[in-house]
Chain A
Amino acid sequence: MKHLPGVILFTLLLLPRPGIAEDMIMTRSVLAFPEAMLALQESIAAHGYTVSRVQRIDIGLTGMGYKTDKYRIVFAGKIDEIRELTDKAPQLTPYLPPKISIFAEGDQTILVTINPKRYAEIAGDAIAPVFFDRWESDLRSIFYDVNTAR
């Protein structure tokens, strides 16, 4: 029984994963923006991350007189991890906290983020690659949740 969680995790990792481009992770949700945003925030929390801020890009643009659709940036992270990164790889600090862009496209919603493997590239030897592999795995799982939420 002790192997079951690992087997399930492995199985989940082999399921279709949203948006496997090398440099970015993207997915589409058939949900309208508000519902997709809710699904995203719930999944982020379920994966143990804290949403630290939501930047409402569309509100800023509209306030300045530009016409736009819904566009938000969701910042999220785990404080222990953020502190480890700024301590061991300060060159990553300008890229923190990690963020996810979420924007409406018609009556659906698109999510995009940088593949954490690119952060590994910036951190160099200061942080073990497995750290960012786990981030990538979590992000793909979060995107999968939003992609399949109904």
Chain B
Amino acid sequence: MVLLANSLTSPAIGLVFWTTIIFLMFFLILKKFAWKPILKAVKARDEMIKGSLASAEKARKEMARLQSDNEAILRKAREEREIILREARDIRDKLISEAKGKASEEAEKVVAKARAGIEREKIAALGEIRKQVATLSIEIASKLIGEKLEKSGEQEKLIDNYLKEIDFTKN
């Protein structure tokens, strides 16, 4: 048993030699042709994933920023629209009230003018009537008297005085 244990636990030189050579070979070949390219590829992939995640995060933030910008712009636009609308409404109201004022003024003016015209016509008509009445009166009087009254200045003056006594304004 002891002997067997001995052969088990004492390393054989030949095996040490071969193990060293085989392991070294295995190590060197794998190092050059396997581990380096594999680790490089894995690392490149890791970095790409990390980079993509970072850029995705950046894009997300950018998006959020743009969105908030958009909202601000929209809000501002809405406000501006409100202001413009309000202004327009004000202007319209003002225009309407102005137009209304002007129109009534104009109407009043027209009415006043008309009234003045009527007054004037009335006076002219009254003058005309007076003249007619005078001639008619003379004719009537001459017929009544039977004599032809001379159209002297004295008679006319008399008629005028009579006419003046008659108040036309009463009829």
Partners in one complex: no
